[in-house]
Amino acid sequence: MPFGEVVCGSPGSGKSTYCYGKHQLFTALNRPISIVNLDPANDNIPYPCAIDISSLIKLEDVMNEFGLGPNGGMLYCMEYLEANYDWLEDRLKELDKDDYILFDLPGQVELSTNHPSVKNIIRRLTKSGFRLAAVHLCDAHYVTDASKYVSVLMLSLRAMLHLELPHINVFSKVDLITQYGDLDFNLDFYTEVQDLSYLENLLNQQSPRYAALNMQICSLIEDYGLVGFETLAVEDKESMLHLTRVIDKATGCVFVPPPTVGQPPDTVDASHLPSTQRPNLYSLMTSAAGQIKGPRSDVRDVQERWIDARDDYDAWEKAQWRKEGLKVQEEAARQKAKIRERTPSAKLAEQTKP
C-alpha cells in the first residue's frame, strides 16, 4: 500500500485548495497521486477525484431521511463509512500501487479531535499497510489575535493526541496574513510555539476576567511540548515543495527510491515491489539526520517574503516571469526557424528520389 496524507482542519482553512495544489505539484513532478474525497457535503470539488464518498452516501440524503442537522448528519456519514469500510478498501485496491493518496476530510473539527469514526478508519488503513501523516491546516490570520492563536494551539494539540499519526500542523494562507493586522511578535514565535508567557499582557487586555485560565491553558500546551507549525502559501511553488519535503520525511517516503534508481550490488532485486517495500539505505542517514534545506525552510525567510518585504519580492518575481516568458518565446522562435530551414531541403530530397 502507498504513502499518503490525511488532510484535516476547520472549515475554510483551505483543505480542498491544498489538495488541488498538491495534485498540480505532483503532476508537474511526475509523481503519481490520487485524491479521496471523504466530505459528503463537498459538492464543488476543484481537484480530479479518484474516490468520492458521495457515491456511497450523501449528507443531504441523510439530513432529509433522519431529520438531522449538518453536524449530526456529518457524524452519521462518517459512522456509515466506518461500518462500510469494505467499500473504501475495495476502491483503494483499484488504484495504482505507487499512487500517493490524499484523504480530504470534512471540516467538522470534532471528527479529528474526539469522534472515533475517522480515527478507527485511519487505524484500519495503517493496519492494511498505508503509511500516513496527518496534515492539519489552520488559517494563518489567527496569529494576529492572541486568544484565537491559543485556541488554535489547543485544537492542534487535541487533533495530534486523537489521530495518533505523524502530525504536521500548517498555517495556511500565510501570504494573506497582512490583510488581517500586524503581528505582535515575529512569525517564528508563533510557528515554533515559544515562551507563551509573552502572551500574558495581550490576553489580559482582551479578556482580563479569564487571565488565570488563559495562562493555565498556555502552561498545558507548553507541558506537552508537541505543537509546532509549518507555513503554506499554496500558489508559491517553493512553499509547497518545502511542505512536501517535511511530510515525506514524516511518513518515511523520503527514504524510498524510485523504481528507476539502481540498487547496491549483491542485493535482492526489489524493483517490482510497491514503493513502501523497496529498501533504500543511501538516503537513510542524510535524510533522517540532516536538516531540510530550501528557500522556504527558514521561517524568517517566509516572514521576509510575505510580511516584511512582500512588495519587493512581488516585483522581483514579476521581473523573473517576464524573463522566463521571453526565453520561452525566443526558444519557440528558434524551433520555428529550424522547421522553416528543414522544410525546403525535405521537399528537395523528396523530389530527387528515383
Which triple of cell numbers denotes residue 31? Answer: 509523481
Structure confidence at residue 262 (pLDDT): 62
Q: What is the largest CA-CA distance in the chain?
A: 100
Structure confidence at residue 337 (pLDDT): 84
pLDDT tens, residue by residue, 242-285:
999 999 989 988 777 666 666 666 667 766 776 666 665 555 55
pLDDT value at 140 more than 70 = yes
Residue bearing the bigger pLDDT, 279 or 28: 28
Band of pLDDT at residue 133, cut at 50, 70 and 90: very high
Helix (H) or strand (E) holding 169: strand 167-172
User: Model pTM?
Assistant: 0.85
Sheet with strand 3-9: strands edge to edge: 51-52, 33-37, 100-104, 3-9, 131-139, 167-172, 229-231
Which triple of cell numbers denotes residue 342? Answer: 528543414
pLDDT value at 162 more than 90 = yes
Structure confidence at residue 100 (pLDDT): 93
Structure confidence at residue 86 (pLDDT): 95
Residue bearing the bigger pLDDT, 84 or 249: 84
> Is 130 within 8 Å of 214 (Cβ atoms)?
no
pLDDT value at 314 more than 70 = yes
pLDDT tens, residue by residue, 279-302:
655 555 555 556 677 777 889 999
pLDDT tens, residue by residue, 170-209:
999 999 998 988 898 999 999 999 888 888 888 888 878 8
Rounded distance between C-alpha atoms, residue 185 and residue 249, angstroms: 29
**What residue has cell string 517495500?**
277
pLDDT tens, residue by residue, 321-331:
899 888 889 88
User: Smallest Cα–Cα separation from 292: which of 332, 343, 238, 344?
Assistant: 238
Structure confidence at residue 321 (pLDDT): 85
- Which phi and psi (to 5°) does residue 4 adopt? -175, 180
User: Smallest Cα–Cα separation from 152: which of 218, 234, 213?
Assistant: 218
Instruction: Give percent of the chain above pLDDT 70.
Output: 87
pLDDT value at 210 more than 90 = no
Band of pLDDT at residue 21, cut at 50, 70 and 90: very high
- Which phi and psi (to 5°) does residue 166 adopt? -55, 125
